[in-house]
Amino acid sequence: MAQACSACATDFKAEDTGDGPVVFVILIAGFVACAGLFVSLVAWNWSIMTLLAVWPASAALMALILMPVLKGVMIAAQIRHKVRD
């Protein structure tokens, strides 16, 4: 992440998201993967090996995609609400 905004010179050094985005990523990716696994098993009768190949990989991919997005959302919320230490 950049140290400061190139357009408005807002300082990002004090912005800290901590573990906030990780919690949301785990909840979102875990719910989607569990729901998809359940539907795949019950409705489509996929084999166990197919389920183990598809859903953990999709959960990991969702986590990699969602992490920077949710970190940006949390930093934007901190800036919007003027949160300081």
Task: Give the residue extent of every domain in the chain.
Answer: 20-80
Q: Is the pLDDT of residue 13 over 80?
A: no
Phi and psi at residue 37, in whole multiples of 5°?
-65, -45
Q: Could you read off the pLDDT of 16-52 as tens digits, one per residue?
A: 788 889 999 999 999 999 999 999 999 999 999 999 9
Q: Is the pLDDT of residue 79 over 90?
A: no
The model's confidence at residue 14, banded by pLDDT at 50, 70 and 90, is confident
Q: How far apart are CA 74 and CA 54, in angstroms?
A: 30
Q: Any idea what DSSP says for residue 71?
A: H
Of 79 and 15, the structure prediction assigns the larger pLDDT to 79
User: If DSSP codes are grouped into helix, strand and coil, which group holds residue 35?
Assistant: helix
Which tokens go with 45? 């009768």
Q: Could you read off the pLDDT of 43-57 as tens digits, one per residue?
A: 999 999 999 999 999
Cβ–Cβ < 8 Å for 71, 16: no
